[in-house]
Amino acid sequence: QVQLVESGGGSVQPGGSLRLSCAASGNIFSTDVMAWYRQAPGNQRELVARSLTTAVTFYTDSVKGRFTISRDNAKNTMYLQMNSLKPEDTAVYYCNLFRTVPGGLKYDVWGQGTQVTVSS
């Protein structure tokens, strides 16, 4: 069972940048769907960005043009580059891996989360 560990969170002023990393304990396959979610206090967890393959990505409207999701399958790592950060980006950020293996068994794996705080 693969495990995920996020890093790179912290505190930054509005307009600043952070780069989150999500390291997997095992191999990441090109067929794995990987994503970043976030959860602010009092809010539900929401999808931020998703990588279906190394070339196919999705972003929620509020982060388009500011965030970039990428993955390096050879390094078993996914990234989230966050630029032009806003106070409303403050949340705990989680990485997620969704895998379907031959036979139909599915794995839905979550990291422990990393805090991002945007404040002046």
Over range 2-6, report the average pLDDT: 95
Phi-psi region of 112 (alpha: psi -120 to 50; beta: other; left: phi over 0): alpha
Instruction: State pLDDT tens for residues 61-75.
Output: 999 999 999 999 899
Whether 78 contacts 28, CB under 8 Å: yes
pLDDT of residue 30: 87
pLDDT of residue 104: 84
Quickly state the pLDDT bin for 54 (edges 50, 70, 90). Answer: low
Using DSSP's 3-state secondary structure scheme, residue 62 falls into helix
pLDDT at 34 over 90: yes
